Amino acid sequence: MSELPLGLLLMVLVALILISGFFSGSETGLMALNKYRLRHLVRDKHPGALRAHRLLEHPDRLISLILLGNNAVNIMITLLAAIIMLRIFGELSIITSTIILTFIMVLFAEVTPKTLAALHPERFAFPATWILSPLMRIGYPVVWFFNKLTHGIFKLLRIDVSQRDSMHLSPEELRTVVIEAGSMIPLSHQEMLLSILDLEQVTVDDIMVPRGEIVGIDIEDEWQSILDQLYSAQHTRIPVYRGDINHVIGIVHLRRTIKLLTEENFSRETLLEIVPEAYFVPESTPLHTQLLNFQRAKRRIALVVDEYGDVQGLVTLEDILEEIVGEFTTDPAASIKEVHPQEDGTWLVDGTANIRELNKLLGWHLPLDGPKTLNGLILEHLETIPETGTSLKIAGYTIDIMQVSENGVKTVKFYPLADDQQATEQTDG
């Protein structure tokens, strides 16, 4: 080899450095491929993805092939560089070749190709499979031998290599994937996907219409009063009960009463005949479970009961769908009838307002791990029924009690959080 022209030796050295860079970049590129995008491309029969998928089915073999090839090339580079440096620098070749070769190898055979492959894994990995796939078939006996030796070492060290990390994502990991998708998913779709993931953490008692707000028909009322309710009802389905809501007979669909209302013989007995049995659900049922239950039972409305069987509220299919797609109104304040924005930037809020709805629609951060209503939150915080004019602060929000009844808080005034912070800074100053 010492008789070959120096120019030819330099050309061979450059080629070997490029091959070493190819192996280094291929390893990084293949390992940096997005596994979920790769599976998608495989389903679309992408040629490069199919080849990469076959190679990655046995990552131990792939790594062995790349390392064997890379080390073989690096050894040849070391020998060839020593010969070239000996012919150029003579006795000083050892120190000089080490310094120069280290710089060249790190820059062109490691850092540059690996950085490019990490930034653009598909552009690097898919073309590389044209070379790695046939090399795997040719060098399989050697790869198999080294894998057996490696597995033997693992066995001696009692390392189990049969179990691979699971590719399944937890709900929180999936949430991160959706958030990190950025512009690839429209913001409205992203919010819906996140809301679907949240269904598992929310129960029906978080979104139900409270017992006191349920509009129903007491079958024991005067018949004319019942007819007036049927004529003026704002809901298509209304619970029918006897005496109080705990004695529910069923839920009537007003569409079934339209024809009967025009008949002279329409009576209580006729009404009871068209009232189907009520559908009850436990208050702790997660929303994603209840959504499926509605689908299986072919129902759209259910009464929520506690552990004693007492009715606590009412939940509808629409309520759950609004948790996914959002409210069907454009003005957040209009979406909650208990909220009244004021010109000075404050908010008058009824004590019956649902805390979760306030947080979701107004961007507030009131605690959700306790009471469901604003009245319950204030009473838990103060541990007593406050007097009108009482001020308190919860989660950074300043709240003034405006109206109080005998059994709770009726109306409060909320001050915007930003104003609270500015006031604190001015007071501190």
Structure tokens at 333: 């304040």
Q: Nearest CA to 379 among 409, 411, 343?
A: 409
CA distance 303 to 251: 9
Q: For domain 332-428, which architecture applies?
A: 2-Layer Sandwich (3.30)
Q: What is the pLDDT of residue 282?
A: 94
pLDDT of residue 327: 67
If phi over 0 gives left and psi between -120 and 50 gives alpha, with beta otherwise, what is residue 383? left
pLDDT of residue 312: 92
- Report the 3 state secondary structure along the chain: CCCCCHHHHHHHHHHHHHHHHHHHHHHHHHHCCCHHHHHHHHHCCCHHHHHHHHHHCCHHHHHHHHHHHHHHHHHHHHHHHHHHHHHHHHHHHHHHHHHHHHHHHHHHHHHHHHHHHHHCHHHHHHHHHHHHHHHHHHCHHHHHHHHHHHHHHHHHCCCCCCCCCCCCCCHHHHHHHHHHCHHHCCHHHHHHHHHHHHHHHCEHHHHCEEHHHCCCEECCCCHHHHHHHHHHCCCCEEEEEECEEEEEEEEEEHHHCHHHHCCCCCCHHHHHHCCCCCCEEECCCEHHHHHHHHHHHCCCEEEEECCCCCEEEEEEHHHHHHHHHCCCCCCHHHHCCCEEECCCCCEEEECCCEHHHHHHHHCCCCCCCCCCEHHHHHHHHHCCCCCCCCEEEECCEEEEEEEEECCEEEEEEECCHHHHHHHHHHHHC
- Per-residue pLDDT of the chain (429 residues), as tens digits, is 556 787 888 898 889 999 999 999 998 999 888 887 888 898 989 998 899 999 888 888 888 889 888 888 988 988 888 788 777 766 666 677 778 888 888 888 889 989 998 999 999 899 999 999 999 899 888 888 888 888 788 788 877 766 555 567 777 777 777 777 766 777 778 888 888 888 888 889 888 888 888 889 999 999 889 888 888 888 889 999 999 899 999 999 888 888 888 787 888 888 888 889 999 999 989 999 999 999 999 999 999 999 888 999 999 998 898 888 876 654 444 456 678 888 888 989 998 888 888 888 788 888 888 788 888 899 999 888 888 989 999 988 999 999 998 788 999 999 877 544 443 433 333
**What pLDDT is stored for residue 428 in this prediction?**
38
202-325: what fold?
Answer: CBS-domain (3.10.580)
Q: Delimit the domains of the chain by residue range.
A: 6-156, 202-325, 332-428
